[in-house]
Amino acid sequence: MRSRPDREKRGPERVFVALGSNLGDRAEHLRAAREALASLPETALVAESSVEETAPLGGMDQPPYLNQMVMLETSLQPRALLSALQTIESRQGRRRTERWGARTLDLDIVRFGDRQLNEHDLIIPHPELPNRDFWLRELAEIDSHER
């Protein structure tokens, strides 16, 4: 019996994770997130974009965000990485109370190798990628350093 391709053991894959914060010490939340990501098992943080301040999305009255994109190389599976990201968010004080609400830390899987997933709580590539010009800039910045 053959296993499904998304369940097969693969080598390390390049994963792009977006970091955002608009509550508390925003720069410290991003720094702590980078440190936590770099310490995940079977994972290395191999590149990061500049940090950029952006207006909040969703039309809610809230402080501006600091955003950054990082590139990881990981052997973790997408769902395991999602769980790890949510744990990191919680440790930084993230409380999920409202969509588009202010947060101490937001971590989103933007791309995961060449994978495509469409599950109720995990869509890869991230469906908002084409709509977030700051993500596109940050990805381009990382890509320019990788050449």
Enumerate residues 6+ apart whose C-beta is below 8 A from 70.
16, 17, 19, 34, 37, 45, 47, 48, 49, 142
Q: Which helix (H) or strand (E) holds 122?
A: strand 122-124
Q: Please say whether the beta carbons of 92 and 104 come within 8 A.
A: yes
Catalytically active residues are 94, 103, 106, 108
